[in-house]
Amino acid sequence: MKKLIMGLTVAGILVANPIIGKAALGDQTLKYGMSHSDVKQLQQKLKSKGYYTYSKNTTYFGTYTRDAVKRLQKAKGLKADGIVGKNTFKALGLGNAPNSPRIATQNTSALISTAKKYIGVQYVWGGQSPKGFDCSGYLNYVYQKSSNIDLPRTVAGIYLKGTKISAPKVGDLVFFETYKPGASHAGIYLGNNEFIHSSSSRGVSISSMKNPYWAPRYLGAKKLN
């Protein structure tokens, strides 16, 4: 009985605080010897820039990752200590500058209007059109239609773009960890703790960040620069 009460208490905290969950890449310093899902995201980012050449991505921060970080740091004129902190994240394009004005790369009203046009469209694995969308296919279609912005095809790829923010604003992307480690689902934040997305169970629909399914799976939010 005691265990049940504790479990319900924890679940209640997660639902009441949907932003609590796993941190987004850039929220914590990464260094040699760590094991964390952020390390895998870091390796993917380093690989996209040509610094990480090992064939596999893992959650362990080992010698290959440290050497790749050092190469990046040397190329950017930073102290080559292999530790990924604020300046190294910025060199990777992941730095968060909360006091800087947002660069308008999209018309938020057009984005939200376009996104809502497709409410009710069914979920189709691999779908990229109004005949059926999967999660990332929906985001790709909406951003291209409303803002002429091309996004990576997968959620993991989209997660590597943009700038991490502590709390989402209307039009920002919100990410979740669902069927595999790391970002595997995403939607567009609408405000008032709601986001629009293509759900495998409901198709294009609006969900609450406080929903007991989504709240504990929340990874973080990003704005597109």
Q: 108-223, which class in CATH?
A: alpha beta
In the chain, what is the greatest distance between 2 CA atoms, to the nearest angstrom?
58
What is the structure's pLDDT at 89? Answer: 84
For residue 172, give every residue at least 6 positions away whose Cβ sits within 8 Å of its Cβ, in sequence order, or none: 165, 188, 189, 221, 222, 223
Q: Supply the CATH classification number for the domain 37-91.
A: 1.10.101.10
Q: Could you confirm whether 135 is annotated as catalytic?
A: yes
Of 185, 217, 222, 223, the active-site residue reads 185
Instruction: Using the predicted structure, report yes or no on whether residue 207 has a pLDDT greater than 90.
Output: yes
- Percentage of the chain exceeding pLDDT 70: 82
Q: Is 185 a catalytic residue?
A: yes
Of 84, 111, 135, 151, which residue is the catalytic one? Answer: 135
| pLDDT level of residue 6 (50, 70, 90 thresholds) | very low
Per-residue confidence (pLDDT) for residue 95, from 0 to 100: 53
The ranges assigned to domains in the chain are 37-91, 108-223
pLDDT per position as a tens digit, 129-143: 999 999 999 999 999
- From the list 45, 70, 197, 222, the catalytic residue is 197
Answer yes or no: pTM beyond 0.85: no
Mean pLDDT of the chain: 81
Residue 204, beta-bridge partner list: 198
Q: Is 36 annotated in the active site?
A: no
Residue 24 confidence (pLDDT):
55
